[in-house]
């Protein structure tokens, strides 16, 4: 149990701590290895956290604090939390009691304001056993697979870029990444896993550790970011630069992305030992060269299904690409700040089209990569899978519905699972 109990944590100098801190908002996020409660505060607060048994509960006392209104604590419970109660055990102390369904470890830390966020107090509840690095769908990895780790950016506390209509990058990229994972897993040569599978934050470090810990062969981070210029549009592919960005936008994006941990919330004291793998020059050269080759194939495929923001593989100092020693790319699938792209990126067919293009680029790279297993493929036959529709298959394969119908002499839109479609190789 962390040694936080019963000591007031004086984390702000007396002069900067306002007399009365308001809790102005709260959010609850459920991840595979933790439930995270976030309290938004009007200023830094003195707090103590402790747990009690019989019944199991975690108590959070905030000194000189009060609820900022009825809307400030809308959470009722969820995950391991049965319910949340509030009270005032003594004058000026606001107490939150998390009634738990089962015993949990806890860890609490303050986050300073960043971007649009005010001061926050984060309380993480984890299992009684030490938290796994992450338990995300590791079960479906086979040792001999060519393992592709797909990393949907942001999540939970960190929405990523927010579009004019309110769409969140974290949601769009999770949908595209999930589609890409499904498509990759249809290819018998490869296996795909996601660094996050729901709406919770995973630190940049844990994303990298996840890939390296599983012996990944390829790392693809999926994003849909913002640009100051609203007209900026199209997809782009980035690889790591060790000596500055290849464009002003790349530099700006890398700064934004590398600040994700500030928005998503990472406790400095909790960070697992970093994979301080200093890449030997030869290893780094290989990684950069292969990342560029992979990026070029992805760009070519993406350019066939939509506009490109840049015709070249761009370079910038993205932290998430830094500590992996495998080919690693960051795909910007479009701009949430562009009105038309925000709308398009929310559509299933557009997401499938982008995921399909990334897969084709990856597949071409795999064909040339000696690490990728060889297999006998029916290159020009597509077997209809559950959930398929002609429109979805056409989007995934980069064809029009009319093309597919004409080539296969189909007279209706109806498909049967297992039905074979002829697909010209592109």
| Nearest distance from C-beta of residue 216 to Zn ion, angstroms | 20
Question: Does residue 245 contact residue 315 with C-beta atoms inside 8 Å?
Answer: yes
| Nearest distance from C-beta of residue 276 to Zn ion, angstroms | 25
Question: Does residue 155 contact residue 222 with C-beta atoms inside 8 Å?
Answer: no
243: Cβ–Cβ under 8 A, 6 or more apart, which residues?
none
Q: What are phi and psi of 229, to 5 degrees?
A: -85, 115
How are strands ordered across the β-sheet holding 190-194? 190-194, 146-152, 218-225, 328-335, 236-240, 314-316
Can you give the binding site for Zn ion, defined by CB under 5 A? 153, 160, 223, 225
Give the residue nearest to Zn ion (CB): 223
Q: Which is nearer to Zn ion, 100 or 177 (CB)?
A: 177
Q: Which is nearer to Zn ion, 44 or 153 (CB)?
A: 153
| Nearest distance from C-beta of residue 332 to Zn ion, angstroms | 8
| Nearest distance from C-beta of residue 153 to Zn ion, angstroms | 4
| Nearest distance from C-beta of residue 241 to Zn ion, angstroms | 17
| Nearest distance from C-beta of residue 323 to Zn ion, angstroms | 18
Q: Which is nearer to Zn ion, 161 or 192 (CB)?
A: 161
Question: Does residue 84 contact residue 94 with C-beta atoms inside 8 Å?
Answer: no
Q: Which is nearer to Zn ion, 81 or 260 (CB)?
A: 260
Write b or e for each residue in 224-246: b if 16 or more Cβ atoms lie within 10 A of its Cβ, otherwise e. Answer: bbbbeeeebbbbbbbbbbeeebb
| Nearest distance from C-beta of residue 383 to Zn ion, angstroms | 34
Q: Which is nearer to Zn ion, 44 or 156 (CB)?
A: 156
Write b or e for each residue in 314-348: b if 16 or more Cβ atoms lie within 10 A of its Cβ, otherwise e. Answer: bbbbbbbbbbbbbbbbbbbbbbbbbeebbebbbee
97: Cβ–Cβ under 8 A, 6 or more apart, which residues?
57, 58, 59, 60, 84, 85, 86, 87
* Triad 98, 195, 352: Cα angle to 5°: 115
Q: Which is nearer to Zn ion, 217 or 257 (CB)?
A: 257
Q: Which is nearer to Zn ion, 333 or 363 (CB)?
A: 333
Question: Does residue 245 contact residue 318 with C-beta atoms inside 8 Å?
Answer: no
Question: Does residue 398 contact residue 360 with C-beta atoms inside 8 Å?
Answer: yes
Q: How far apart are CA 290 and CA 326, in angstroms?
A: 8
Q: Which is nearer to Zn ion, 258 or 389 (CB)?
A: 258
Q: How far apart are CA 274 and CA 409, in angstroms?
A: 56
| Nearest distance from C-beta of residue 224 to Zn ion, angstroms | 7
| Nearest distance from C-beta of residue 252 to Zn ion, angstroms | 12
Please list the alpha-helical segments (H only) found in 146-203. 169-186
- Choose among 60, 59, 64, 61: nearest CA to 92: 64
Q: Which is nearer to Zn ion, 98 or 172 (CB)?
A: 172
């Amino acid at each position: 149990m962390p040694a936080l109990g019963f000591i007031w944590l004086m984390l702000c100098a007396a002069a900067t701590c306002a007399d009365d801190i308001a809790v102005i908002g709260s959010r609850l996020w459920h991840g595979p290895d933790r439930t995270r409660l976030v309290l938004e505060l009007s200023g830094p607060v003195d707090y103590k956290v402790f747990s009690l048994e019989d019944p199991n509960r975690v108590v959070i006392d905030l000194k000189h604090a009060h609820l900022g209104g009825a809307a400030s604590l809308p959470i009722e419970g969820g995950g391991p939390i049965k319910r949340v109660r509030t009270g005032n055990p003594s004058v000026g102390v606001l107490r939150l009691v998390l009634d738990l369904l089962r015993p949990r470890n806890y860890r609490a830390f303050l986050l300073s304001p960043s971007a649009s966020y005010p001061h926050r107090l984060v309380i993480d509840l984890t299992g009684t056993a030490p938290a796994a690095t992450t338990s995300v769908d590791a079960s479906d990895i086979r040792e001999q697979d060519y393992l592709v780790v797909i990393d949907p950016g942001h999540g939970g506390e960190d929405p990523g870029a927010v579009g004019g209509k309110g769409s969140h990058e974290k949601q769009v990229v999770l949908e595209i990444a999930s589609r890409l994972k499904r498509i990759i897993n249809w290819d018998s040569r490869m296996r795909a896993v996601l660094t996050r599978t729901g709406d919770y934050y995973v630190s940049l470090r844990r994303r990298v550790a996840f890939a390296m810990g599983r012996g990944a062969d390829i790392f693809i981070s999926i994003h849909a970011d913002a640009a100051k210029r609203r007209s900026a549009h199209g997809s782009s592919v980035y690889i790591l630069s060790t000596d500055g960005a290849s464009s002003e936008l790349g530099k700006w994006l890398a700064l934004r992305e590398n600040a994700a941990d500030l928005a998503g919330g990472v406790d400095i004291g909790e960070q697992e030992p970093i994979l301080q793998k200093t890449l030997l020059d030869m290893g780094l050269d290989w990684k950069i060269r292969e990342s560029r080759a992979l990026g070029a194939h992805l760009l070519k495929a993406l350019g066939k299904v939509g506009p490109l923001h840049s015709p070249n593989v761009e370079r910038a100092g993205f932290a998430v690409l830094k500590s992996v020693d495998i080919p690693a790319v960051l795909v910007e699938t479009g701009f949430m700040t562009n009105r038309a792209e925000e709308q398009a990126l929310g559509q299933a067919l557009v997401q499938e089209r982008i995921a399909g293009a990334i897969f084709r680029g990856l597949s071409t790279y795999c064909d040339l990569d000696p690490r990728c297993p060889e297999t006998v493929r029916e290159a020009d036959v597509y077997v209809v899978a559950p959930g398929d529709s002609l429109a979805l298959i056409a989007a995934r394969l980069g064809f029009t519905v009319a093309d597919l119908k004409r080539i296969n002499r189909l007279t209706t839109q109806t498909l049967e699972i297992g039905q074979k479609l002829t697909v010209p190789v592109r």
